[in-house]
Structure formats: structure tokens, C-alpha cells
């Protein structure tokens, strides 16, 4: 086992990794930017070191600075979490050059799967179904236009490098292809330094289903079942669950087998995720592979009982998996909601400022992964996700009910959050029915609005009353006082002590 692990990340995922290190008895090291000085997640590490600057480029993406700290504190392993350097094959290789272990897949596997065009070719070689399309490498605009016409509209133009919805354009007809191609290439060049694109058939009414895989250095690769990730805004997931309500036993077997075959094709080691789209009749197509830990990994942990971060560390240290595929099965149902500092009623614009009051939910079957506390400053420098609320139930209905209760207990004052938006989704009949596509939010919530806004002073008054009354925020829907100043303005949502009748 390692003698010391440096976590090259921040926020809730850094906290998550520190906890895994504690479980294994391995000392951990936090690095933090100037903007994150004093952040609560840094206190869980055994050692803490500052990085100059506030932007990601100056700090968490600064490989020289990261290696300098690792060398100074004598760390022999680096865990990248997700985002930042987690899928940087050059960084993974540089870890070895600096005498440190990268806790994740090999640089070779990351390179093979990090390029969407190369990953597509590997999927085909492994016998995995791929979306009809064409690799745009070396092709001129006219050739791509003809290819799109042959594939049939609508088509999707997407960057070969990177992800997160950048460099993506949906084209409904030939008339819009040229402009969409130029826009996608320009955005891809800006975001990833590479304007290489792929043109694929764009399916409507499809589901985003992904398979968690886990491989060790001894050649064992297995799957940990599926996650449903179709509830997305701007290609970003906000609600994930396992099992998927649309996956049958037969489909589960076929899609999981395909994911394992692809992972074996690249000798995959560590945790990874193979993403697919699934149509309405059970056909599935390879989308991409994420060669890292996923944001939504907790739902898999809750239904399998495995600690994925602990196993990432054990595998990187050379341990073999102590269980086989036959030992794995899904228990109950898990759901995750991502809580963002953003305004869903205003184009999901990020909200910055101080969190003046924070309370996380609790109770049986409720887990919260966060990196904030009362007094935390939400800055414009990093992703606006504040926390992940995860619930487990014996069935999907139970997991949803627990999630609604948990979000109603969550109190975040000082910034606008998406909690009211998440609650609206969880109670919407189509979502409750369990058959929503990746277009669900565009179809059912494009003009979603909160109720009439309350002023800041009113919210602070509510918070003060709650404190004086003993913090009774957990007694009902009133606990969904979730953001300041525009969320939950109606009096039913203000406080657990509100009544609309006089009591004699």
C-alpha cells in the first residue's frame, strides 16, 4: 500500500478521496488554490499545501506545481479525482516519470479512449455497436456535408477530443450544416486545442445509459451494472440512478457484456465508465468511455456495496479484485441529484457569493457528498456544483420519496441553487413514470420558473427565526428554503412552523 497520497483536486471529490484514504489508513495530502484557502474539505487531509493563483490553469491544472508539492511532501501516489487532470494521459505518464503512481488507468488506455474517433474504432473492433457516422479527420466541408446527407438528418457534429457538451451541434437540415460545422470546430479548437470532429446520426427519444467497469492489473475486468443518466441540461447530467428503469434483464446482460469487451480491448485498469445511448426498442450504441471516476459513482456504490475509490487505490497499489462477476448484484435502487449554485430560471447562470447558512440532510438511506459549509465562498473560478445528494430505497419509488424529503431538508442560503428545479423534476409525472429521454428537460421544463421572488431581507429573517426556534428546518416542505433570494418564495415553503390558520 502507498505511504502517502496527494489528491490533485478540490471540493466534494477531494473530500471523498480523503475519506477513502482514512479508511485504508493512508495519509493524505490536500492542495488548494488561493480561492480555496480555508475551504472545509482541506481540513480532512493530513497535510495541506497552497498553490499560487485562483484560476484552474494557475493551480489545479498546473502540473509543475502539483509535482513540486508531491515531491516536497514525499507522496508516492496521486489521485486526480474527476475533471482537471483526471483524463490527461500526459499527466499520468509524468507521474511515472516522477516516481509516483497515478491512481487511475494507464496513459495508453486513456489515450486510446480519450479520442472519440479512436475509441469508436476500438469499439467496432471489440464488436460493440456504434452510432452510424463518419470520422471527420482530413475531410473537407463538402465531404462532410455529403456524409451527413448520406447518414440522414438530424445529425450531431461533435468534437473528437474532450466532452461536457463542448464542440457539439445538432443539425436538423442541410441548410444549417455549414454554420454548425464551423461553430463546432471553432468551439472544439478553443476548448481542446483540436478542431477534429465526428458527424453522427442524431437519435431522438433516446436514453443515456452507462456501465461502470472495474479492472485490476492482473487482467480481471468486470462490470458493476448500469446507471441511467438521461435527465440532462445542456448535455450535463443532473439526476442519475441505478438500476435504470428502462433496462431489462436481457438488455442489461448485452450492454454490460459489450462494456466489458471494450474495456478488455484496451487492457483497462481501475474504475471507468462506458457510455451508451439506448433507443426505444432496446438497441444500444457506444457513445464514449470516461477513463476516470464518474461524478455519479455513489449510486453504483449504494446498489453494489462496493467502495469504488477504495478499490481504485487498492488496484493502483497492485491488489487484485477479491470478487468475481458472479458475486455482484444490484440491491434496491439509488438516486443522485447534483446541487448547483445556478439559476435554472435564468439560463442556468452560475450564482456566486457567500453561503450564509448551510444544512445538509440526513437519515437512513441518505448520503451527501459535499465540500461546503456555512461561510464558504462560491467563486466564479470552478464548476458551480456544491454537493451531491444520494438516496437509497428498496425500490425506485422509495428512493424518489427519500430524495424529495432530503432536498426539502437541504438549506443553502446566500446563493441561488437548483434545488426547487430538482424537486419539480422529481414530482413530474413523466419522471415518476421512469421513461424519460435525454430530451426530457427540453420538452418538459424549457420555461421553468420559480414563484415570485422574495427580497434578501425576508430570507435572512426566515433564517434567523429558524435558528431561534431551534433549527426546525427538517419538519416538512418548509425545509426547501434552498436559495437566496429567488427560490421557494411561497409561504408554504418558508418554515416548518408556518400555518395558514389561527390556533386558539
Give the active site residues: 292
284 contacts 209 by C-beta, under 8 angstroms: yes
Which cell numbers in the block locate residue 28?
493524505
Per DSSP, the residues of 16-80 read HHHHHHHHHT--EEEEE-GGGTT-GGGGGSSEEEE-S-SSTTTTTT-HHHHHHHHHHHT--EEE-
- CA angle at residue 287 from 284 to 290, to 5 degrees? 125
Largest pairwise CA distance in the chain: 80
Q: How would you class 58 by CB atoms within 10 Å of its CB: exposed for 0-12, middle for 13-18, buried for 19 or more?
A: middle
**Calpha distance 502→504 (Å, rounded):** 6
The residue behind cell 481540513 is 43
437 contacts 205 by C-beta, under 8 angstroms: yes
**Calpha distance 266→259 (Å, rounded):** 11
Cα–Cα nearest to 483, from 401, 423, 431, 429: 423
Cα–Cα nearest to 304, from 276, 280, 333: 333
For the four alpha carbons of 238, 244, 247 and 253, in that order, the dihedral sign comes to positive
199 contacts 147 by C-beta, under 8 angstroms: yes
CB atoms within 10 A of CB 497: 13
Helix (H) or strand (E) holding 299: helix 297-304
17 contacts 44 by C-beta, under 8 angstroms: no
**Calpha distance 141→80 (Å, rounded):** 38
Non-local (6+) Cβ contacts of 234 within 8 A are 165, 348
- Three-class SS state of 330: coil
- CA angle at residue 436 from 432 to 442, to 5 degrees? 110
Residues in the chain: 504
- Exposure class string for 208-238: b at 16+ Cβ within 10 A, else e: bbbbbbbbbbeebbbbbbbbbbbbbbeeebb
- Three-class SS state of 283: coil
**Calpha distance 88→151 (Å, rounded):** 32
Amino acid at each position: 500500500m502507498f505511504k502517502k497520497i496527494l489528491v490533485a483536486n478540490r471540493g466534494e471529490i477531494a473530500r471523498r478521496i480523503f475519506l477513502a484514504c482514512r479508511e485504508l489508513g493512508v495519509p493524505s495530502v490536500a492542495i488548494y488554490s488561493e480561492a480555496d484557502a480555508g475551504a472545509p474539505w482541506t481540513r480532512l487531509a493530513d497535510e495541506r499545501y497552497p498553490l499560487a493563483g485562483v484560476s484552474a490553469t494557475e493551480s489545479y491544472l498546473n502540473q509543475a506545481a502539483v509535482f513540486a508539492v508531491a515531491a516536497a511532501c514525499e507522496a508516492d501516489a496521486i489521485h486526480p479525482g474527476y475533471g482537471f487532470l483526471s483524463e490527461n494521459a500526459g499527466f499520468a505518464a509524468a507521474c511515472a516519470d516522477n516516481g509516483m503512481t497515478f491512481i487511475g488507468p494507464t496513459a495508453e488506455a486513456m489515450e486510446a479512449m480519450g479520442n472519440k474517433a479512436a475509441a469508436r474504432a476500438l469499439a467496432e473492433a471489440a464488436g460493440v455497436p456504434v452510432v452510424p457516422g463518419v470520422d471527420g479527420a482530413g475531410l473537407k466541408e463538402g465531404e462532410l456535408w455529403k456524409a451527413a446527407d448520406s447518414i440522414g438528418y438530424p445529425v450531431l457534429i461533435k468534437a473528437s477530443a474532450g466532452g461536457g457538451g463542448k464542440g457539439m451541434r445538432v443539425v436538423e437540415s442541410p441548410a444549417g450544416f455549414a454554420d454548425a460545422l464551423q461553430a463546432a470546430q471553432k468551439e472544439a479548437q478553443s476548448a481542446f486545442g483540436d478542431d477534429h470532429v465526428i458527424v453522427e446520426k442524431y437519435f431522438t427519444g433516446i436514453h443515456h445509459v452507462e456501465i461502470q467497469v472495474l479492472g485490476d492489473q492482473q487482467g480481471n475486468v468486470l462490470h458493476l451494472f448500469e446507471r441511467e443518466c438521461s435527465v440532462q441540461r445542456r448535455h450535463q447530467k443532473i439526476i442519475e440512478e441505478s438500476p435504470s428503469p428502462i433496462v431489462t434483464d436481457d438488455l442489461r446482460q448485452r450492454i454490460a457484456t459489450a462494456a466489458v469487451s471494450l474495456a478488455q480491448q484496451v487492457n483497462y485498469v481501475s474504475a471507468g465508465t462506458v457510455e451508451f445511448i439506448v433507443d426505444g426498442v432496446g438497441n444500444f450504441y457506444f457513445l464514449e468511455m470516461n477513463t476516470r471516476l464518474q461524478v455519479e459513482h455513489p449510486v453504483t456504490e449504494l446498489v453494489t456495496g462496493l467502495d469504488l475509490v477504495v478499490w481504485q487505490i487498492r488496484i493502483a497499489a497492485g491488489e487484485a479484485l477479491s470478487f468475481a462477476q458472479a458475486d455482484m448484484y444490484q440491491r434496491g435502487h439509488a438516486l443522485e441529484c447534483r446541487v448547483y449554485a445556478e439559476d435554472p430560471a435564468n439560463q442556468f447562470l452560475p450564482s456566486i457569493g457567500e453561503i450564509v447558512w448551510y444544512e445538509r440532510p440526513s437519515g437512513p438511506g441518505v448520503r451527501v457528498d459535499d465540500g461546503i459549509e456555512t461561510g464558504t465562498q462560491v467563486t466564479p473560478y470552478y464548476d458551480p456544483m456544491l454537493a451531491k445528494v444520494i438516496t437509497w430505497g428498496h425500490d425506485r419509488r422509495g428512493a424518489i420519496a427519500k430524495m424529495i424529503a432530503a432536498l426539502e431538508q437541504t438549506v443553502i442560503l446566500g446563493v441561488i441553487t437548483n434545488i426547487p428545479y430538482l424537486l419539480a423534476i422529481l414530482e413530474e409525472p413523466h419522471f415518476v413514470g421512469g421513461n424519460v429521454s435525454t430530451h426530457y428537460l427540453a420538452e418538459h421544463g424549457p420555461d421553468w420558473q420559480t414563484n415570485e421572488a422574495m427580497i434578501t431581507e425576508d430570507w435572512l429573517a426566515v433564517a434567523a427565526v429558524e435558528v431561534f426556534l431551534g433549527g426546525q428546518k427538517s419538519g416538512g416542505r418548509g425545509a426547501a428554503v434552498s436559495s437566496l433570494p429567488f427560490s421557494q418564495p411561497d409561504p408554504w415553503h418558508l418554515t416548518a412552523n408556518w400555518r395558514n390558520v389561527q390556533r386558539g
